[in-house]
Amino acid sequence: MDLSALRELNADRRARRAAVLVTDLDDGSSRLLHENDTVGGELADAVRQVFRTGRSDSVEADGKKLFLNVHLPSPRLVVIGAVHISQALAPMAKVAGFPVEVIDPRTAFATAERFPDIALDAEWPQDVLARRPLDSYTALAAVTHDPKIDDFALKAALDAGCFYVGALGSRKTHAKRVERLLALGASADEIGRIHAPIGIDIGAASPAEIAVAVLAQIIRAFRTRGLEAKDAAA
């Protein structure tokens, strides 16, 4: 690897940008590719594959022996709402490997006692997200039920291309939310990306069961990135 590629790769990783370093194992040359780069030939499929799975791989493409080392930002979860569901969802997501951050401006909800060992912000989402912006490797679950708190975060998640956007609420609640998000300037297509009612259908009843359903939906969204069409059933 040449030094400029190393510096660029480290800068990408710090900025949470996905990158693949392609090394030609015969001549030692290397180049760095990003998710929206145009790649031709047999390499294109292999590059798509490693971006999707996050698993580095040795491949033969276009008559060359290549090593594709993929560096994906670690997926993280931002939960809007320090509610009962979040008390189960945050520790579960942590166990599953997602760094978690819970945001809720209501100081009665957002307490360290209710969320031990969880990154917690007792602030408005607009303030927290201005400091730590959402990105396409972030999942956002909005579970306060309160438009004043949820709506801004949901719009921000759609704008940032979060790999998962979920919102708690019945179909009726969601229909009203759709109207409000349209008024905020979100397109119908973008709004269609929101998982609502939230969570895969496992008949979840308790807050902890709903947390399981939400976490499963987040994992599926992450592992099937780029294959959204097949995910339509969710």
Q: Does 209 bind another protein (CB under 8 A)?
A: no
Q: Does 52 bind another protein (CB under 8 A)?
A: no
Cβ proximity of 162 and 185 under 8 Å: no
Amino acid present at 138: T
- Out of 41, 58, 133, 176, name the contact with another protein by CB under 8 A: 58
Cβ proximity of 193 and 158 under 8 Å: yes
Token pair of 12 as six digits: 């990408």
Q: Does 14 bind another protein (CB under 8 A)?
A: yes
Q: Does 207 bind another protein (CB under 8 A)?
A: no
Q: Does 57 bind another protein (CB under 8 A)?
A: yes
- Out of 6, 130, 175, 202, name the contact with another protein by CB under 8 A: 6
> What is the secondary structure of 116-150 as a DSSP string?
TTSEEE-S-HHHHHHHS---TTEEEEE-S--HHHH
Binding letters toward another protein, positions 65-84, x by CB under 8 A: --x-xxxxxx-x--------
Residue partners of 158: CB distance under 8 A and separation at least 6: 165, 181, 186, 190, 191, 193, 194
Interface residue list for another protein (CB under 8 A): 1-3, 6-7, 9-10, 13-14, 23, 25, 28, 54-58, 67, 69-74, 76, 97, 99
